[in-house]
Chain A
Amino acid sequence: MSLIRPYGDTTGDGMVQLSFTLPIAHSKVAEGAAVQLANKMGMDPALVVHAKPMGEGFTFFVVYGRVNHLVDPSTVEVVERDYPLLTPKEANAAIKRSMRRRLVVVGGCIGTDAHTVGIDAILNIKGFAGEKGLEYYRELKVVNLGAQVSVPQLVEAAREEKADAVLVSQVVTQRDAHLLNTREMSAAFREAYPAAKRPLLVVGGPRFDETMAGELGVDRVFTRGTTPGEVASFIVHRLTNRTAS
């Protein structure tokens, strides 16, 4: 892949837009300070197209300008999907073929997190982004524990239901609660299960970094925009292949 730079209206023009607030009352000096910041960020020339006082001693700026940076897509690191996307029908068929029973998924929001929007989008039959949730899959048994489930409760529910996969959603990120909770959760599962019997651990939330699965002790991290079909496909891929091997 070739090197690229931002595109305004002409190839190679490098134009970007930026908005920010400086803690300074609006004046010519304030506008100059905004240009200075933009310059330091690599925008040159930088044009303050809008400056407005906001509250006492604050000014909001919109700046347009040119950057000279080049980006190299070939050096970008991402987690590419390493499993095939299945339709619900294909997923059901794969489970039937290789497990000969329903695959059990236990999900919930752990810690104090009360935001069930993520786990519900993935699990509820209603689904997300036009895809039906996991409850819609005939061969999946879904147990949605809802919000504010403690880690011991989650482990107990996973044991009781003989969970094949455990899905945890974390929306609240204050003080890195999502990372701390996830580590606590994965440690509890490692402690409660022998390695070969441990259910597949999947976490998701808008502020996770997909590359952190290993560090967090889980099998997969899903981030913003993940659809139920992707989660189902991943679970089916990993579990049906594991059973087969």
Chain B
Amino acid sequence: MALTKKRTSQLGIDKADVRRARTLARQVGKPIVDLATRHTTVSVERATLRLAGLGGADPDGTPWVNRLADAVRADVGLEHGVSLPVWDALLRGEGDDLLTLAQKAAAGSVTFRIPAGRDATRARTASRKAVAAGIKQIDRQRAARERMIAKVGDAPSKPWIYLIVATGDIHEDIPQAQAAAREGADVIAVIRSTGQSLLDFVPEGATREGFAGTYATQENFRLMRAALDETSKELGRYVRLTNYASGLCMPEIATLAGLERLDMMLNDSMYGILFRDINPIRTFVDQRFSRQIHARAGIIINTGEDNYLTTADAVEAAHTVTTSQLLNEYFAKEAGLEDWQLGLGHAFEIDPEVPDSFRLELAHAMLARELFPDAPLKWMPPTRHMTGDIFKGYLLDGFFNLVGAMTGQGILLVGMMTEAVVTPWISDRDLALQNVRYVMNAAGNLHEDFHPSPEGFIASRAREVLGLAVDLMEEIKADRSVAGQPPLLSAIADGTFGLMKRPADKGRGLDGVAKKAADYYNPATEILEGEK
């Protein structure tokens, strides 16, 4: 009975409209995927070197993957990929291993070439073997996660409670994260240092200085995961770890997350373009690779639709959230992610002074739930209308939790009444968790009784938003404002999303993009796509 109930629309939505929306998302997304497969980026190539085991940095802190990729690029360009020239050089005896080769390349004592004939075949085979070892490590980490969940137990109920730490110092983050887990967090997110998204390299080692967050590094990932493994055993439930696969190093950070068993990663299809002015093509290429890694690693992605609502009006822009969710879903599934890995984002950001604001929030959240019944949606708390009046903010967070309870959200980011005032104090976190527990305990099963009237305000609003999303995607599909480009790139260029205009030939990181040559080879892509 539960099954049949799930299939009929509570909101009176016509199945044909949902199909139409998904078809449009595919039509808009497909040309972007084609574009992504025709290009590579410096970060995709560096991620490939990381999979083959190259880590560490030179005395100035520049990672060896950057030194090696830059040297290869200077000799033979990026368009063939780094794998053939690098393993060709190794086979020619230019270095015993990748690290030695990188050091020699940095000193300028290696000349790279594009191998041909049998040399090319041998380089191909050797690179595939080396990269396969990294992917095997990702597979082992996925199996370790599953084993550990089976042994110590999983988060006891949905939604998973998601809490943030952000001290800037990994050695301060660890006790804070462990304390947050003991207080009830199922998911710990370590906020990145402000500005890391615009670094074109991944910092190395354990870091103790960050701005409003802690640098994402392989060592920081490893330290935090190990600490949370301890806490998971102590608490008898697996505590998940989250970080950010975004910015210029998205593919490398995704790779490090897979290698170090992170469990969820923020990974939006357009966030970097719109909010960080990263070049659109760079973003789509990097994103596809990073999502292929996430799919392989069993990592749940969190998309960033909440960000649209922090700059645009949450009522007027509600349909842009739905549109972005549909596009994120298309890109994610194309890259091999499954429904259970799609933490599609949305947020409680309507101005509380707007009449019926709660009913509008409920309508939007129910729409997301109905469109993506098998995805663990990520529900983000109010931030824009948290004014410093902590008492009113606490009430608003309670209503946010209530919508979360009524719409079966998978991941609930716990709202803090001191949002926009201070980074959360121990008491803020405790009070926020009490708020969540009270609402879940008091109203967690309300969805059993609550059925909005199909003719009522909530159902009508949900249908209206879906209709507007379909209209917007029709408009995007027809966008030809930039000749010769996929319509979605035209739409991004002319400011369809938010007020930001982001042309495909501008933005950060464009110089790190190359069109693939006919003999381009990347063993990671081959393995990830071949075994999909």
Q: Please say whether chains A and B are actual partners in one complex.
A: yes
Residues of chain A having any CB pair with chain B under 8 Å: 19-21, 52, 54-56, 58, 60, 111-117, 120, 124-126, 146-148, 172, 174-175, 177, 206, 224
Please, which residues of chain B bring their CB within 8 A of the CB of A20?
427
Contact among A55, A126, A148 for B195, CB-based, below 8 A: A148
Give me 5 other A-B pairs in contact (C-beta within 8 A), A54-B427, A60-B426, A174-B168 excluded.
A21-B425, A21-B426, A55-B183, A116-B275, A175-B211
- The residues of B that contact A112 with a CB separation of less than 8 Å are 193-195, 211
**In the complex, the 8 A-B pairs of residues with the closest C-beta atoms, listed nearest first:** A112-B195, A54-B430, A60-B427, A112-B194, A21-B427, A172-B212, A114-B194, A174-B211
Q: Which of B311, B313, B430 contacts A55 (CB 8 A)?
A: B430
Instruction: Tell me, in angstroms, the Cα distance from A54 to B179 when the chains sit together.
Output: 10
Closest B residue to A175 by beta carbon equals B211
Say how far A238's CB is from chain B's closest CB, in angstroms.
Answer: 27
Residues of A near B136 (CB, < 8 A) are none
Contacts of A172 in B (CB 8 A): 194, 211-212
A sample of 10 inter-chain contacts (CB < 8 A) reads A19-B427, A54-B426, A54-B430, A55-B426, A113-B194, A114-B197, A115-B194, A117-B311, A124-B311, A126-B313
Q: Decide: B313 and A117 in contact? CB cutoff 8 A.
A: no
The residue on B at minimum CB distance from A147 is B276
In the bound complex, do residue A126 and residue B426 qualify as a contact, i.e. CB atoms below 8 Å apart? no
- Chain A interface, DSSP helix/strand/loop, else mixed: loop
Q: Are A114 and B195 neighbours in the complex by a CB distance under 8 Å?
A: yes
Question: When each residue 294-314 of chain B gets 1 if its CB lies under 8 Å from chain A and 0 otherwise, what string results?
Answer: 000000000000000011110
CB distance from A133 to the nearest CB of B (A): 10
Separation of A150 and B174 alpha carbons in the complex (Å): 32
* Across-interface contacts of B388 in A (CB, < 8 A): 224
Cβ-based interface call for B198 (8 A): yes
- Note all chain B residues with C-beta closer than 8 A to A113: 194-195
Task: Please tell me if the beta carbons of A177 and B426 are within 8 angstroms of each other in the complex.
Answer: no
Q: A126-B312, A175-B211 are in contact. Are A60 and B430 (CB under 8 A)?
A: yes
Task: Quote the shortest CB–CB distance from B410 to chain A (angstroms).
Answer: 26
| Chain A nearest CB, measured from B443 CB (Å) | 23
Is B499 an interface residue when CB atoms closer than 8 A count as contact?
yes
Report Cα–Cα, A15/B134, bound state, in Å.
64
Across the interface, which residues of A come within 8 angstroms of B147, CB to CB? none
Name the distance in Å between A29's Cβ and chain B's nearest Cβ: 19
User: What residue of chain B has the Cβ atom nearest to residue A117's Cβ?
Assistant: B310
Q: Is B226 in the interface zone, CB < 8 Å from A?
A: no
Cα distance, A148 to B388, chains bound together (Å)? 26
A111 proximity list for chain B (CB < 8 A): 195
Give the distance to chain A from B330, nearest Cβ to Cβ, in Å. 27
Chain A residues with CB under 8 Å of B500's CB are 146
Contact string against A for B residues 115-133, beta-carbon threshold 8 Å, 1 for contact and 0 otherwise: 0000000000000000000
Residue from A58, A112, A116 whose CB has the most chain B CB atoms within 10 Å: A112
Report yes or no: B499 in contact with A125, Cβ–Cβ below 8 A: yes
- Given the interface pairs A55-B183, A120-B311, A124-B311, the reply to whether A174 lies near B212 with Cβ below 8 Å is yes
Return chain A residues, CB-CB under 8 Å to B420. 206
Contacts of B20 in A (CB 8 A): none
Q: Which residues from chain A contact B310 at a C-beta distance below 8 Å?
A: 117
**Residue of B at shortest CB range from A60?**
B427
Interface string of B141-173 (1 = CB under 8 A from A): 000000000000000000000000000100000
- Please pick, from B276, B384, B426, B499, the residue contacting A58 in the complex, using a CB distance under 8 A: B426
The residue on B at minimum CB distance from A20 is B427
Question: Which of B194, B275, B388, B426 has the most chain A CB atoms inside 10 A of its CB?
Answer: B194
* CB-based nearest A residue for B179: A55
- The answer to whether B499 touches A124 (Cβ under 8 A) is yes
A58 to B168 Cα, complex, angstroms: 23
A58–B275 CA distance with the chains assembled, in angstroms: 39
Distance in angstroms between the alpha carbons of A114 and B210 in the assembled complex: 14
The answer for the CA separation of A21 and B430 in the assembled complex, in Å, is 11
Residue in B closest to A133 when the chains form the complex, CB atoms: B499
What CA separation (Å) do A216 and B512 show in the bound complex? Answer: 38
Residues of B within 8 A of A148 (CB): 195, 198, 276
Rounded to whole Å, the gap between the CB of B294 and the closest CB of chain A is 23
**CA separation between A23 and B225, bound complex, in Å?**
27
Q: Give, as a whole number of angstroms, the nearest-CB distance from A214 to chain B.
A: 26
A36 to chain B, nearest CB (A): 19
In the complex, whether B79 has a CB less than 8 A from a CB of chain A is no
B437: min CB distance to chain A, Å: 13
Are the C-beta atoms of B277 and A146 separated by less than 8 Å? yes
Q: Mark B302-336, 1 if CB is under 8 A from A, else 0.
A: 00000000111100000000000000000000000
Complex: how many Å from CA A116 to CA B277? 12
A115 cross-chain contacts in B, Cβ below 8 A: 194
- Point out the residues of chain A lying under 8 angstroms from B312, CB to CB: 126
Which residues does chain A contribute within 8 Å of B197, judged by CB atoms? 114
Interface residues of B in 413-438 (CB under 8 A from A): 420, 425-427, 430-431
Contacts of A56 in B (CB 8 A): 179, 182
Query: In whole Å, how far is B69's beta carbon from the nearest beta carbon of chain A?
Result: 24
Indicate which residue in A19, A114, A126 contacts B499 across the interface (CB closer than 8 Å): A126
Q: Which residue of A lies closest to B180 (CB)?
A: A55
Q: How far is the CB of A172 from chain B (nearest CB, A)?
A: 5
Which residues of B lie under 8 Å from residue A55 when comparing CB positions?
A: 179, 182-183, 426, 430
Within 8 Å CB of A126, what residues of B?
A: 311-313, 499
- Chain B: CB-nearest residue to A112: B195
Q: A126 to nearest B CB, angstroms?
A: 7
Q: List residues of chain A with CB within 8 A of the CB of B384.
A: 117
